[in-house]
């Protein structure tokens, strides 16, 4: 069962929270981060994307980047931008977006739970990205970004969160990027014990987003265990920072594909070859995007018009939780079989666009950026994610796009 515990977090002073909080490191490139940080010495991008404080020609993985991240984090603490709570706390993080609300518990998970698969995963990690986050965690001596976990809801946990948030105002309440962010501090020891007991009834936690953050946190914990002759198991490096949202509150958006070429085919040949695995039909009026409304359907944008693709039953294995996913059907029957794109992680003929950007972004990239076509997908469900993780398998890359994104800088977990 899951171990989830309170901790003494370092948090922004209330009047600085909106200026400190920032989008996570992996949704911004360096140029975007420099622009976003302009004129704001308090933004947590100075820790999460510390290259913005170095010359633009410095490599992202240069030792100076990690040293600067630690320097900036320690400066924030020394200057009182971040202040440590006096006692162990849980934190409640609520986000409002497009009329939806999700409320999560922020605390510490167990490295052992990660290693023994109590915390389940649905994606492979990349060695280069994992190495980067290991360096960042180790140099900063802290978990600075939230691992996004989900679980099958517990009524008592929801009840505690609702009662606490209704009985007092949030310590942070601000809007950014079209999302309202609210934050409460739960410092009541009795209720904390109830929260931990509630999570002890949860059989499994699931990584929704943050596979590299969770893997790196676990590996730093393992490294420190191995090099500490006085290791007891009670050290802070045995825990890592996470936020846990009940699965029924989460929203997964589509994660769409851009394809650079048609494998030597003309558009007419391409459409004809698709008929082997898909029923191909024009989708409405020319210039009207086709957004799939059900599983097994895809929108294809080619030569200025949209087509509806419907997967033929024989290409959708019903007894395999991975192979039956729309992303897997598309990968096998179009990308691999027709175009020879066997490794979507590395093949430069393929690009990905999160659903938050809309289908007009797919049209723009095809019309202006030299891509041959785009494919819009129906979103993967949270039940699919859990089923794949429970089976011990992984999804194809870029299968899920969660919104809203969790902001960084609202709390930091020190490893000592």
Residue 62 phi, psi (nearest 5): -65, 145
Mean pLDDT of the region 388-393: 95
Section 196-206 average pLDDT: 97
Which residues does 401 contact at the CB level (< 8 Å), separation at least 6?
A: 252, 253, 254, 255, 354, 355, 356, 379
pLDDT value at residue 397: 86
Q: What is the dihedral of CA 11, 14, 15, 20, to 10 degrees?
A: 30
Instruction: Determine the pLDDT at residue 127.
Output: 86
Compute the mean pLDDT over every residue in the chain, rounded to the nearest whole number.
96
Neighbour-count burial of 193, counting CB atoms closer than 10 A to its CB (0-12 exposed, 13-18 middle, 19+ buried) = exposed
Q: For position 104, what pLDDT does the model report?
A: 98
- Alpha carbon distance 381, 115 (integer Å): 25
Whole-number Å distance between alpha carbons of 407 and 91: 14
What pLDDT sits at residue 125?
A: 87
What is the arithmetic mean of pLDDT over 217-233? Answer: 96
Q: Quote the strand ranges of 98-238, DSSP E.
A: 100-110, 119-120, 142-143, 147-151, 172-176, 179-186, 205-209
- Residue 288: the pLDDT is 84
Please report the beta strands in 78-192, taking only residues with DSSP state E, as ranges in sequence order.
82-84, 90-97, 100-110, 119-120, 142-143, 147-151, 172-176, 179-186
Q: What is the mean pLDDT of residues 23-49?
A: 95
Residue 26: other Cβ atoms inside 10 A: 16
The Cα–Cα gap between 253 and 270 comes to: 27
| pLDDT above 80: residue 106 | yes
For the segment 127-148, the average pLDDT, to the nearest whole number, is 95
- Residue 26: predicted pLDDT: 87
Between CA 171 and CA 185 the distance in angstroms is 7
Beta bridge partners of 342: none
Q: What percent of the chain has pLDDT over 70?
A: 100
pTM of the model: 0.93
Higher pLDDT, 182 or 177: 182
The predicted pLDDT at position 268 comes to 97
Q: What is the pLDDT of residue 232?
A: 96
User: What pLDDT was estimated at residue 345?
Assistant: 85
Q: Where are the domains of the chain?
A: 4-250+404-414, 255-378
Q: What is the mean pLDDT of residues 344-367?
A: 94
CATH code: domain 255-378 is 3.30.1760
What average pLDDT does the segment 340-359 reach?
93
Q: Looking at residue 315, what is its pLDDT?
A: 96
- pLDDT for 27 equals 87
User: How far apart (Å, rounded) are the C-alpha atoms in residues 387 and 306?
Assistant: 32
Instruction: Give mean pLDDT, residues 340-352.
Output: 93
User: In 3-state terms, what secondary structure has residue 325?
Assistant: coil
pLDDT confidence of residue 126? 83
Mean pLDDT of 206-217: 95
Q: Answer yes or no: is pLDDT of 238 > 90.
A: yes
What is the Cα–Cα distance from 391 to 25, expressed in whole angstroms? 30
**What is the pLDDT at residue 402?**
93
**Run of H or E including 10:** strand 10-12
Instruction: Return the ∠ at Cα 132 (arms to 127 and 233), rounded to 5°.
Output: 90
User: What would the DSSP string read from start to end of 344-389?
Assistant: TTT-TTEEEEEGGG-HHHHHHHHHHH--SEEEEEPPPPHHHHHHHH
**pLDDT per residue as tens digits for the range 66-89:** 999 999 999 999 999 999 999 999
Q: How do residues 250-303 score in pLDDT, each as one tens digit?
A: 999 999 999 999 999 999 999 999 999 999 999 977 678 999 999 999 999 999
On the question of pLDDT at 31 being above 80, the answer is: yes
Contact 221, 240 (CB under 8 A): yes
């Amino acid at each position: 069962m899951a171990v989830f515990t309170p901790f003494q977090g370092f948090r922004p002073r209330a009047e600085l929270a909106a200026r400190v909080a920032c989008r996570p490191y992996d949704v911004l490139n360096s140029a975007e981060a420099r622009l976003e940080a302009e004129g704001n010495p308090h933004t947590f991008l100075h820790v999460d994307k510390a290259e913005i404080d170095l010359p633009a020609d410095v490599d992202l993985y240069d030792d100076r980047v990690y040293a600067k991240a630690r320097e900036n984090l320690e400066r924030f603490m020394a200057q009182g931008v971040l202040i440590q709570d006096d006692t162990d706390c849980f934190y409640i993080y609520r986000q409002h977006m497009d009329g939806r609300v999700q409320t999560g518990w922020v605390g510490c998970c167990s490295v052992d739970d990660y290693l023994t698969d109590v915390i389940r995963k649905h994606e492979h990690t990349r060695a280069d990205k994992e190495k980067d986050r290991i360096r960042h965690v180790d140099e900063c001596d802290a978990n600075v970004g939230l691992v996004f976990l989900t679980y099958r809801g517990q009524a008592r946990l929801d009840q505690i969160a609702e009662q606490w948030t209704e009985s007092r105002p949030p310590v942070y309440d601000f809007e950014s990027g079209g999302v309202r962010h609210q934050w409460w501090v739960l410092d009541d020891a009795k209720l904390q014990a109830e929260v931990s007991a509630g999570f002890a009834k949860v059989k499994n936690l699931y990584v929704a987003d943050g596979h590299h953050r969770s893997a790196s946190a676990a590996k730093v914990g393992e490294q420190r265990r191995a090099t500490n002759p006085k290791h007891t198991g009670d050290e802070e490096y045995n825990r890592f920072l996470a936020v846990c949202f009940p699965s029924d509150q989460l929203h997964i958006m589509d994660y769409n594909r851009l394809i650079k070429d048609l494998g030597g085919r003309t558009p007419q040949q391409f459409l004809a070859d698709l008929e082997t695995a898909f029923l191909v039909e024009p989708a409405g009026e020319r210039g009207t995007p086709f957004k799939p409304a059900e599983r097994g359907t895809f929108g294809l944008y080619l030569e200025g018009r949209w087509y509806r693709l419907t997967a033929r039953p024989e290409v959708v294995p019903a007894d395999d939780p991975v192979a039956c996913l729309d992303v897997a059907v598309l990968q096998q029957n179009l990308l691999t079989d027709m175009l020879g794109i066997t490794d979507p992680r590395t093949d430069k003929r393929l690009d990905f666009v999160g659903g938050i950007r809309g289908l007009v972004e797919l049209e723009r990239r095809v019309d202006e950026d030299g891509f041959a076509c785009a494919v819009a997908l129906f979103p993967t469900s949270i039940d699919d994610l859990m089923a794949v993780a429970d089976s011990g398998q992984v999804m194809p890359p870029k299968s899920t796009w969660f919104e809203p994104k969790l902001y960084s800088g609202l709390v930091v977990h020190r490893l000592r």
